[in-house]
Amino acid sequence: MQDGEALEIGDGQLFALSHPYALDGRVSTHPKEARGFASSNAYLVAEGEEHLLIDTGLSVHEEAILAQLGSLIEPGGRLSVYPLRLGEFSGVCNVRPVAERFDVDVVYGVFGMPDPAEWSDIRPEYRPSIVEGGGGRLREVEQRQAPPVGKAFEIGSEGREIQFLAAPLKLLPTVWLYDTGTRTLFSSDSFTWLWRPTEAGPWVVEGDEDPISAEAVQDYLFASRFWWLPGADTDRIRSELATIFDEYEIEAIAPCFGCVLKGRDAIGRHYQMLDDILRRAPELPKADVATGRWER
């Protein structure tokens, strides 16, 4: 991938705006001992003149993301923004800059968390939209609560839907999305365990291209923000995951960071690894609440 080039995931209908960041023990997305690079991902869903930006990336990648959007959205194109994780910087950091640069018509809030501008207008160099006289264009953009799980909205006029799914495995309030046009599952902060030795990536994995083992996936989960899985009752998580993977035809998994999984071979392998880990988890010793402070 050339610097600043968006990754085409679905025949001109879906693009990953992927930007690497260093794993050096200082980021909460990965175990402290992880070294290499992960990718912070936002996604642009495109259907004719309509576009939906899912998450907005980190502030350090602002100019690159704005340039990518500018190369993908034709003049007159409409853009809506949906930060899947209103409590995470990589979901909200660039909502305000995107609204200032492009003709954004709607900013969605996670169901149950309305007023997304209040959650995402966090950049100190901008006067907040909730302050009188502040907000720039973001103050004028419609703030809309996203549909509840089990519902959908159409993008374009050809019946393409973005469906809202309950997230079986998650941390902060979020949902998963399913794009009927590209058969992509947007998995938020799950399926995020792939990283690369260099910032060159690649950030899309197909077939058996990645060498990660089930043991490495388990180490990632248990030594990061899913430290609570050992000893937990995971039956419901497994059941809800199985329902999604049984009922939906999934050809790509698009996480908020890490590599995009593409193709049924890669997806099947990673789903099976996760299910096996969840099956074993209840029998494992529970982690101490001080896990995040352990020296490794």
Mean pLDDT per block of 10 residues along the chain (296 residues) reads: 70 93 91 93 94 94 94 91 84 89 89 74 80 78 84 86 93 88 95 94 86 92 91 95 97 96 94 97 80 50
Please name each of the domains of the chain with its CATH number. Answer: 7-293 (3.60.15.10)
Report pLDDT for 121: 83
> Token pair of 45, please?
């869903």
State the amino acid at position 20 in one-letter form: P
Alpha carbon distance 187, 191 (integer Å): 7
Q: Please tell me the total number of residues recorded for the chain in this structure.
A: 296
Helix/strand/coil for 202? coil
- Sign of the C-alpha dihedral, residues 24, 27, 33, 36? negative
DSSP state of 200: T
Task: Check if the beta carbon of residue 35 is closer than 8 Å to that of residue 196.
Answer: no
First to last CA, the chain: 34
Report pLDDT for 269: 94
- Helix 235-247 / helix 264-280 crossing angle, nearest 10 deg: 160
Alpha carbon distance 210, 206 (integer Å): 8
Report pLDDT for 236: 96
Report pLDDT for 296: 45
Alpha carbon distance 196, 28 (integer Å): 17
> Token pair of 262, please?
């593409």
Helix/strand/coil for 172? coil
Report pLDDT for 64: 94
Alpha carbon distance 260, 1 (integer Å): 14
